[in-house]
């Protein structure tokens, strides 16, 4: 399931469970290509949050996001891992499964 994140819902949406947040921009070609991979994971039942860093730069700055796409995997509100760049479905699945 995709959840569009913003200043109002970010903290509440990421505070429980395993949550993968995609920090992206609309102008980034890698981000655009990454979307279809994330959509496949979402259809498999993984929770995927998307934060447009141009619209909500404060949150991106808070987590030190400087390249796109960037990802943070939260577990019960705590950062488990943070990584950047385009990732294949297998790479993302490996990261998700390692933190279940």
31 a catalytic residue? yes
Residue 99 binned pLDDT confidence (cut-offs 50, 70, 90): confident
The single residue of 18, 28, 84, 93 carrying the catalytic annotation is: 28
30-66 pLDDT, tens digit each: 999 999 999 999 999 999 999 999 999 999 999 999 9
The single residue of 5, 20, 21, 31 carrying the catalytic annotation is: 31
pTM of the model: 0.95
pLDDT of residue 84: 97
- Contact (Cβ atoms closer than 8 angstroms) between residue 8 and residue 59: no
Under CATH, which number does the domain 2-98 receive? 3.40.30.10
pLDDT of residue 41: 95
Q: Per-domain residue ranges for the chain?
A: 2-98
């Amino acid at each position: 399931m995709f959840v569009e994140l913003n200043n109002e819902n970010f903290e509440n949406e990421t505070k429980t469970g395993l949550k993968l947040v995609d920090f992206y921009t609309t102008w980034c070609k890698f981000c655009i290509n990454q979307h279809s991979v994330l959509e496949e994971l979402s259809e498999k039942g993984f929770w995927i949050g998307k934060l447009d860093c141009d619209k909500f730069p404060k949150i991106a700055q808070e987590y030190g996001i400087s390249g796109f796409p960037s990802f943070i995997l939260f577990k019960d509100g705590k950062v488990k891992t943070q990584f950047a760049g385009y990732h294949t479905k297998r790479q993302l699945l490996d990261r998700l499964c390692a933190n279940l």
